[in-house]
Every structure is written in structure tokens, then in C-alpha cells.
Structure 1
Amino acid sequence: MKNLFNVVMLFLFLPAMGQFEPGAGQGNNHADLITGNYELPNGLWVKIYRQGNTYNGKILSVDHYIEEETLDIKNPARHLRSRPLVGLEIISGLTYDPGSRQWIKGEMYAPEKGMTVNLRIENADANELVVVGSKLMFRKTLSWERLP
């Protein structure tokens, strides 16, 4: 009788603790959805990866880059203009917010402009990211296509 009581109590209280909810115990699987390789509208290929609790990104290829540059020539810091774009970390500090299911508080360096903008990823699926870049009162929403 004691075992039956324990089993009944277990089934009554575990759902309240979220143990039977879809996705319970899966950690940050949704948060990691953005990891992978993407082609940006400007032709850069970027790899987004997790580093601790944040997501960063670096340039993989400039082969399709519309600027046809391989160096960071528009960087406002003169001494950095000779550094290669490939391998350059251009995305940093993105954190996942489970409440909004968005990646927020990131920054992105835009080599074609030589400037850093605030970055937020509003939506992610298997094929693309919906990304918002902003600086002061300006904002732009773009789609980044996942590479195979």
C-alpha cells in the first residue's frame, strides 16, 4: 500500500515540476539552434558557435563577398586595416533569452562599413536566421541563409 501511495504521489507532483513537458530536461537545445554556418546578404560566410554561455561568430570565407576585399581595409583603427577577414571574429556576446526565445545583447562588426552594431537574432529555424542589427536609432532586419 505504501508503494502505491508513493507511485500516485510521484505522478501527481512530477508534472507540476515540469518533468513531463515537451523539451523538459533538454537544456539549451533551442538556444544552440543558431550554431552553424551561414551566408550573409553581403556574401560573407560566417560560422556561429557557442562559447560558454554566449554565442560568437567568425568569418569562414570571403569567396562570395560583394566587397571583393580580403583585408579589413575599412576598419577605423588604421593599424588593423591589414588584418585578413577570414578567421576574424565579427559576432560576440549573443546570449539566449528563453522568455522571448531570442538571442540578445550581441555585437557584430560589419567590415564593409568598418563599424560595430548591436545584434539580436529574432528567429531561427533549420534554414535561416532572422537578424536585427541596430546602431543609435537605425535598425535593419536581414535573413541569413544556413549553408549545407
Structure 2
Amino acid sequence: MNWLKHILLVALLLGTTLSWALAKNPDDVLGVWKNGEGTGMVQIYKKGDKYYGRVVWLKVANNPDGTPRTDVNNPEEKLRKRPLKGLENLRDFVYAGENTWDSGNVYDPKTGNDYSCEMKLIDANTLEVRGFIGVSLFGRTDVWKRQVKKG
């Protein structure tokens, strides 16, 4: 029975150590992430002390006529011709500690809407991205999977 206590203690210590090790570095979010639907990939990068993301891959990159897809749902008519690939859709995130980046915005090209957003690193390869209006309670979470580390 004593060996069982030792095993449980070791498991508890390992779990605690791993949670402390995760995202001690605010830059752990950097890299390329695939969205939950698998339709796009976003590269998260850093400018100054804030974090941003841009679309680097689309499952359907072109329109039926072969031209690159553009931001057709943008409420600003002048922006509807900008390409989706390369579009900066995550803006102004700051590291808040505890594996969380907040105070940012996410742009959804499917709807043309901009939302407040926070991101939380669940493990080294899983990122929860929560867009919301007003308070985080009223929103939607998408789970992204890492494709490339710190890219």
C-alpha cells in the first residue's frame, strides 16, 4: 500500500511540474495553428509586446474562376478586394499570465465581423480561441491545433 502512495505522489508532482512549465514564456503561443474546422491556418507572431495573427493557408484558396479568395464579407466596401491569404485576423493580444493572452480582437472573414478575443494555451499544441461580444460569457470557442512551432 505504501508503494501506491509513492506512485500517487510522483504523479501529482509530475502534473504540477508540467503545469508550471507550460507557457512560462509568453512567446509559447508563436507558431502556425490550424482552426477547428480545418479550413485555415493562422501564423501567430509578435510585434513589440503584442501578439498578432495572419492567415497563411486556406483549404480553399481560390474562387471557382481561379482568382484568390478575397474579403467579400467585409462591411467596408474598399476592403472587400483584399486577399484572405495574408489577412491579419488576430490583433493586439497581450500576455496575461496563466497561459492566457487577452485584450485582443479576432476578425471573422466568413461574417465580416470583428470580436473581442482571448486565447488560452491548453497544452503545447492546443490553443482555445474565444471570440465574444461584450463579456466572454457570450461567445464561441474554437480549438486550434499547432502545425509549426514558433514560425
Normalising by structure 2, what TM-score? Answer: 0.71
Q: Does 1:40 align with 2:39?
A: no
Which has the larger Rg? 1
Q: What is the deviation of 1:132?
A: 1.1
Q: Is the 8 A contact 1:55 1:94 kept in 2?
A: yes
**Number of aligned residue pairs:** 120
The CA distance in 1 between the partners of 2:36 and 2:58, in whole Å, is: 12
Q: Which amino acid is the alignment partner of residue 132 of structure 1?
A: R
Residues 64-103 of structure 1 aligned to structure 2 (within 5 Å): 64=60, 70-98=69-97, 100-103=98-101
Partners of 1:78 and 1:143 in 2: CA distance: 31
Q: Give RMSD over aligned pairs.
A: 2.3
- Cα offsets for 1:69-101 (capped at 9, x unmatched): 711000001111111011111111000012x44
Contact kept, 8 Å, 1:45 with 1:62, in 2: the verdict is yes
Question: 1:58–1:90: 8 Å Cα contact kept in structure 2?
Answer: yes
2:56 to 43, 57, 60: 60
Deviation track 1:21-67 (CA, whole Å, cap 9, x = no partner) reads x9xxxxx85211110001112411110001111000000011257x9
Report the TM-score, using the length of structure 1 for normalisation: 0.72
Stretches of structure 2 that go unaligned for 5 or more consecutive residues are: 1-16, 18-22
Structure 1 portions without partners, runs of 5+: 1-21, 23-27
Structure 1 runs of 4+ off > 4 angstroms?
none
Report the Cα offset of residue 108 of structure 1.
Answer: 0.8
Superposition pairs of residues 7-22 of structure 1, within 5 angstroms: none
> Is contact 1:34-1:124 (8 Å) kept?
no
For the residues of structure 2 that align with 1:64 and 1:29, how far apart are their CA atoms? 36
What percent of counterpart residues are identical?
29
